[in-house]
Structure 1
Amino acid sequence: MDKDTLNYLFKQFQTNMLTEAEAQQWDAALSDPNNDEGIQALADQIWNRDDLLSHRANDEDAAAILGYILEQPQPLRKRNIRLWPKLSAGIAAAIALIILALYLFKGVDSGTSSVTFANDVAPGGNKAILTLTDGRRISLTDAAKGELAQQSGIRITKTEDGQIVYQAAATKSAGHNGFNTIETPRGGQYMVVLPDNSRVWLNAASSLKYPTNFSSAKKRRVELTGEGYFEVAKDRRHPFIVSAGNQEIEVLGTHFNVNSYHDEPQLKTTLLEGSVKVVSKGREALLTPGQQAVLTGGSIRVQDFNVRLAVAWKNNKFMFENDNIQYIMRMVSRWYDVEVVFEGALPDDKFIGSMSRSEHVSEVLKSLELTGKVKFKVEGRRIVVTK
C-alpha cells in the first residue's frame, strides 16, 4: 500500500472515523507484512509526541491494556489479526493505547467512573420555532404534519419526517416578499428546505433568517447565528450569501458548514463540496473541498481540515480531535441544555474521541471520565467539572 493511503487510513483509525470500506482497507493493511515498516513509523510518531509523553503507559501497563482489549467481545465482522504477533512491543503498545481510547469513547464501562447525578438529562431533538412575515410564531415541535401557512404565493408544509418545505402555491397570491426566521433552542435541531430548494440543517441554539421568495432578488441572502450545514441549490445567476457574525460566505452551489456561535472564540467555515468565498472586513479567502476558513477578529486563516469533524453534529455525533474540555463542554451544554461550571484548575489535556448525541448526558460524561483526566458532578441541569 502506498504511503499516502496508509497515512490517511491511520489518521481515520485514530479518530474513529473509518468508513466501512476504509475499515476493510485498514484491516488488509494490518494483515500485509509489506506494511509493517510503514505502520511502525506511524505508531512511532504517536509514541513520541511531546503532548502524550506524560500519559505514556509503562511496558507492564501497556501489556495489561493490550491483553484486556483482546479479551473483549469483538464485532461479528470478520477481522484478520495475524499481524499482531509480528509487531514489536512498541507498536503493539502504541496501537493498544489508541484502541483503548476508542473503546473508552464508545462507552465501555470499567466500573471506575465517579460521576454522580441528582438526575440524568435526555439528549436534544427536533425542536424549533418558525416566525412568519406577519409575526406569527409556530412551534414546529408541536405542529401537525401538513400545511402550516401560505404567504406571498409560497406554501409552507411540515413533512412526515418533520422537515419544513417551501413550495410555490398552486394559486399564487400577490404580496410583499417578507422574511421568515427558524430558531432552534438549546437542546434542539431542525432541517428546512428553502424556497430555492437549498437544504439547511440547524444545530442547537441557532437561527436562520431568509426571504420567503428568492426569485425577485439578484442574490439569495440569508442570516445565520449559531451553527448550520448548507446544501445550496445551484443557480449561477443568483449567488447564495450567508451572513454570519462579521463575515459573509458567497457560493453558487455547494455543501459547507458554518460555526458562528457567539461563545466560540473563532468563526469557522468548512467546505465539503464545491467552492466558497469567505469575506470579512476587506479580506477574503477562497476555499476548496477539505479546507476550513478560521476567522479571528479580522484575520482569515485557511487550513486543511477533516470535514467529518465539522459535520459530526449533523450526523448525530460528538467528534473531537485534540480539543480541550472547555470546547467539548460547550457542545454538551448546547445539546443537553445544561449549565456547565468549572471548579478549580482546568485540565489542560487534549481529547480525541467520538460519541453518539443520542445518549443521555450520563453516558457522555462517563466516557470522558474514563480518560482519568476529568470528573463530573451533575445536579439537575447543572454540571460541575473538576480536574
Structure 2
Amino acid sequence: MPSSQQIATHTLFNSTDEVKQWIQQQALELGFADCGFLPINHPLFAKQITHLKQWLDKGYEGQLEFLHNHHDLRADPAKLVTGTKTIISVRMDYLAEKTTPRKIEDNKYPNNAIVARYARGRDYHKVMRNRLKKLAKRIEAQRPNWQHLDINNDSPFVFRPFADSAPIFERAIADAAGLGWTGKHTLLINKQAGSFFVLGELFISLELPEDQPVSPHCGSCQACIDICPTQAIVEPYQVNASACISYLTIEHDGPIPEKYRKAMGNRVFGCDDCQLVCPWNRYANLATLDDFAPRHNLDSLSLLDLWNWTQQDFDAFTQGSPLRRTGYVNLLRNVAIALGNAPKSDATVQALQSKLSQHGDMLDEHIHWAIKQQTTK
C-alpha cells in the first residue's frame, strides 16, 4: 500500500487545510502521536514572558539561571529562525508499559532505583530532532504541489527542528496548538493520551492555518498537588522548581537540602508521581518507537547495583541516555539518599561505607546522612 507521501506526489492540494492534513499524516508515519500548528506571531509569547518573570521573581528557579536569559527570543521566537511563519508542535508517547492511574506503584519497590519513565531509554532529544528533520524534508519535497496556494511558497524553504534545545515556551506552544491543556502540575495533558509524552517543534517558513486550543479538563481534581512528595506544586499551575524532585536529582548541583531528602524516597533521576496519580493517564498510550524501551535495566535496577557503578560503568551505560546529564557524582549523591531511605540493611551500610573518601566532601556528606538514617531505623 503506498504511503501518503507517495500519494501526494501525484496530487495537487486544493487548500491549506489539505496541506495541514497531509503534514499531520506524515507526522504520524514518522512516529509522532499528534501535531498542531501555530503562527510565529501568536500573542501567547508576550503573556508567557510576563508569567515567567513573575515566577522568577518568586525565586522558584533554583540553579536554572538560563531562565533569566534570552527573554527577547522567548517573546519573539521569529528571531530564532529568520523567515519562520509557522510552528509545528508535535508530541511523542514514551511509556514502555502501562501504569495504574491514581497509584504510585514505584513505592512497592523500595530497594529499586526509580528512574523517570522518559529517561529509561534513549535520549529523546536526538530522536525528536531527527524525525522532525525528516518531516521537514518531506514537506520541502512536496512544495511543488502547493505552488498555487498562498503560503509563502515563492520564497526559499526554511526550517529548524527543536526539542528542549532553545529558549522556547514549549508547553505553552503545544497548549495553544491544541495538543492538550496545561494541568495543575504544569505538564500538558491530552484527553486521549494522558501526559506521558515529550514535545518538540518544527519552525517552517510556510504560512498555514493555526489550530485552536482545547478546553481544560482538570476540574476540581488536585491529585497531583496532594501527592507531590516535596510539596513543590505550591498552588494550581505554580511549581517551585527548586523543591521538585526532578530538578533536585537532575539539574541541582551540589548538596541537596536535608529537608527534601526523606521525601525523595528511592527516586534517583526524576519523578513521575504527579503523572502517576493523574486520572487522565488511564488513557496513556504506549510508545511506538523502540528508542523508548528501557536500557541497562533502568526500569528494574536495584539501588545497590546502581551504587556499585564505577565511573567507567556510568560512561558506558549512560551513552545516549538522559542520565548522562546529571553526572556520575551527582547520581551517586541521589543513590546515597535513596539508600538512606531504603529498608534497614547491614549490606546497605557496608556498601555506603565503601565509597567514603573516594569522590569528595559533597558525596561523603550524603553518605554519612544515609548511614545515619540506616542505623537509626
Question: TM-score scaled to structure 1, two decimals?
Answer: 0.21
Q: Decide which structure has greater strand share.
A: 1
Q: Decide which structure has greater helix share.
A: 2
Larger radius of gyration: 1
